[in-house]
Amino acid sequence: MSSTGGRGSEPKPLRRHLLCDQLVERAQALGGLFPEAPAQRWFRVSDATLRAGVGGVGADVRFERTKESSIEGSLRLETALAALAEVAGASDSGVVLTVDEAHLARRADLGVMAAALQVGTEAEWPFVVVFAGLATMRNTERSVTYLERGEWHHVGSLDEASTFRALSLPAADSGRPFEPAAVQYLAEQTGGYPYAIQLYGYHAWSAAEGQTHIDMDDALVGADRAGRDLEQGMYVGRWTQSSSREREYLVAVAELLGRGESATGAAVAAQLGVNTRQVSSCRDRLLAKGTLVDERGQLRFAVPGMAGYVRARSDEVDAPDRLRVPSRQETPQQRPPDRGPGGPQITPGVP
């Protein structure tokens, strides 16, 4: 239910009430698929198509508006979900409601949805509700209390064995298996990042069109195409959405990784010529956004290949000396021109 661009692009923020509007429409459309659905509905299903492919199985539902509702806000959503629950229950069925990119939803929309779901919990609606999004969806200024009571699971990168299976099994099941060297190469290139696994696998599969196997040549072509997609979409999106201070931090991480050094919080701070505390808020923001991940104290980019992209754009970031400001104990005239690691100061929290 997210609003997205093309393949590999960054999702655009949801417009006001769009989430709830889509929930109402999909609830009405899905309700029309049950044989026990009532005759009077705000939406009438005009066509339903089941689709299957390498990416999985899904359904497209088309519907027509038959009656304009005057009910607004949480009551409108509650009414639509209650009607869906009624027809699902009559068919001895259940409903799985998924909301992707939930971190883009407005707090007001989440509040409306939470109010409706709270009613559904008391009424024992046959629903399973799943939200998916970046860690920022749990920020107190964005989330709502009721949703915090849910069962939360952190889904990080896949390990090597899981990445191997995620690439190889769907291809084999679809009649075009990977050669061992090809799938091993792609598994390493993806870094276990779930979206990259899908993207690299898709492009390798497409490159092997008409063949019985996906070989190393196909994997190389697929990796090149996937890399371009990531650069034009996720790399650009994360870079442009980062503040100047966050970009400086990202460049420091990328430079450390490029030299084969450990990118710990302390190492990044030293690279910037400040102490760890002074850039901790910047680090935390980048982790919350999902741009960086912390694995046992080691920082790395969540999306594979982004370190190289950032290094190539390091000239767009001011040199650390330009961002230094005097500490509270000294004036600009008193400050030495170069104090070395740990000496220069930056203003914490400035975006």
Domain ranges of the chain: 18-148, 160-239, 241-323
pLDDT digits (tens, 9 = 90+) for 214-238: 999 999 999 999 999 999 999 999 9
> What does the alpha-carbon distance between residue 169 and residue 306 come to, in Å, rounded to a whole number?
27
Q: pLDDT band at 318, cuts 50/70/90?
A: low
Phi, psi of 213 (to 5 degrees): -140, 160
> What does the alpha-carbon distance between residue 76 and residue 78 come to, in Å, rounded to a whole number?
5
Query: What pLDDT sits at residue 73?
Result: 55
Q: Which of 118, 164, 119, 127 is nearest to 145 (CA)?
A: 118
Residue pair 214/205 in contact by the 8 Å Cβ criterion: yes
CA 258 remoteness from chain centre = 25
Residue pair 201/158 in contact by the 8 Å Cβ criterion: no
Query: What pLDDT sits at residue 85?
Result: 87
pLDDT digits (tens, 9 = 90+) for 230-275: 999 999 999 999 999 999 999 999 999 999 999 999 999 999 999 9
- Mean pLDDT throughout 198-208? 96
Residue pair 226/203 in contact by the 8 Å Cβ criterion: yes
> What does the alpha-carbon distance between residue 132 and residue 146 come to, in Å, rounded to a whole number?
16
Specify the DSSP element, H or E, that contains 48.
strand 43-53
Phi, psi of 131 (to 5 degrees): -105, 145
> What does the alpha-carbon distance between residue 172 and residue 170 come to, in Å, rounded to a whole number?
5
Question: Which residue has 């980048």 as its token pair?
Answer: 286
Task: Return the DSSP state at 248.
Answer: H
- Angstrom distances, CA of residue 273 to CA of 77, 215, 346: 53, 47, 9
Residue 114, SS3 per DSSP: helix
- Mean pLDDT throughout 38-64? 43
Q: Classify domain 160-239 at the CATH class level.
A: mainly alpha
Task: Tell whether the model's pLDDT for residue 325 goes beyond 50.
Answer: no
Tell me which of 110 and 335 has the higher pLDDT.
Answer: 110
Q: Which of 254, 203, 258, 266 is nearest to 230 (CA)?
A: 203
Q: Which residues contact 126 (CB under 8 A, 6 or more apart)?
A: 85, 88, 89, 93, 94, 95
Assigned token pair, 25: 């429409």
Parallel/antiparallel/unpaired status of strands 127-131 and 95-99: parallel
Amino acid letter, residue 143: S
Q: Which of 96, 154, 173 is nearest to 129 (CA)?
A: 96
Q: Which residues contact 143 (CB under 8 A, 6 or more apart)?
A: 107, 110, 137
Q: Which residues contact 332 (CB under 8 A, 6 or more apart)?
A: 326
Residue pair 306/235 in contact by the 8 Å Cβ criterion: yes
Query: What pLDDT sits at residue 35?
Result: 56
> What does the alpha-carbon distance between residue 110 and residue 301 come to, in Å, rounded to a whole number?
29
Residue pair 189/198 in contact by the 8 Å Cβ criterion: no
The region of weakest confidence among 13-22, 256-265, 280-289 is 13-22
Assigned token pair, 48: 């339903």
Specify the DSSP element, H or E, that contains 184.
helix 180-190
Is there a shared CATH topology between the 160-239 domain and the 241-323 domain? no
Q: Classify domain 241-323 at the CATH class level.
A: mainly alpha
- Mean pLDDT throughout 135-144? 75
List the beta strands (DSSP E) in 54-140. 56-65, 95-99, 127-131
Four-residue CA torsion sign, 188, 165, 192, 306: positive
The region of weakest confidence among 135-149, 151-165, 197-211 is 135-149
Q: Which of 28, 40, 18, 130 is nearest to 79 (CA)?
A: 28
Assigned token pair, 26: 């999909």
